[in-house]
Amino acid sequence: MPLFLSLWIKLFFVLTPFFGLTMFLSMTEGYEESRRKKLAASVSAAVAVSCLVLFFVGQQIFTIFGITLDAFRIGAGVLLMLSGISLVNGKAASTVSVGSDDVAVVPLAIPIFVGPATVGTLLVLGADLNTLTTKAIGSLALLSAVGCIGGVLLASSFIKRCLGGRGIIILSKLTGLILAALSAQMIMMGVQGFLGITP
């Protein structure tokens, strides 16, 4: 249970739910509520599939390219740090094309929710959890985190009325601070692995 809760909370924030919420609201402005909820369900499904694939192929990718887990920890940690800094500064970048009517997969699922930092984190977690039990717990935690993302999107109109634009921006900045702390820990673990230091 402690592993599940730890992974669930970590993955929820790695998916940058409140930044994603602001993008979702801006891209669905003028949508009817039923259409917005249908899109929220599609985005959640796309995020779940993308994340599960990345979670399960991490070790294979490391083997194919000859990358050590510690090296990837440092690289993914740096990306996660940059993502966190961008959120804190209110400059989280993403290429958004609102010309297409089908925005569930691109750009909402990828790269807004599943961006480079999220990809790196999922690959590292997938390689870290190398037993059947931990893989199962990790999968459940990941699906639970994505379910929470779906809940946030489904309740987007309600959240916007309650918090307002400023409240959502504040939550995005807090998410950035948490991501910065997670990235620092990931980088430190990678450095310790390179130096042969047991934490």
Enumerate the domain spans of the chain: 2-96+105-194
Percent of the chain topping pLDDT 70? 93
If one counts every other C-beta atom within 10 angstroms of the C-beta of residue 160, the result is 15
CA distances to 13, 79, 166, 175, 179 from 171, rounded to whole Å, are 11, 20, 9, 6, 12
pLDDT in tens, 28-75: 888 999 999 999 999 999 999 999 999 999 888 888 988 888 888 898
Average pLDDT value for residue range 124-151: 95
pLDDT for residue 96: 45
pLDDT for residue 123: 92
Phi-psi region for residue 31, left (φ > 0), alpha (ψ -120 to 50) or beta? beta
Give the three-class secondary structure for 180. helix
Q: Is the pLDDT of residue 91 over 70?
A: no
With beta carbons less than 8 A apart as the criterion, state whether 134 and 3 touch.
yes
pLDDT for residue 98: 46
pLDDT in tens, 103-132: 899 889 998 899 888 999 999 999 899 899
| Beta carbons within 8 Å of 25's beta carbon, 6+ residues apart | 156, 160, 168
With beta carbons less than 8 A apart as the criterion, state whether 7 and 142 touch.
yes
If one counts every other C-beta atom within 10 angstroms of the C-beta of residue 178, the result is 17
pLDDT for residue 79: 87
Average pLDDT value for residue range 159-184: 89
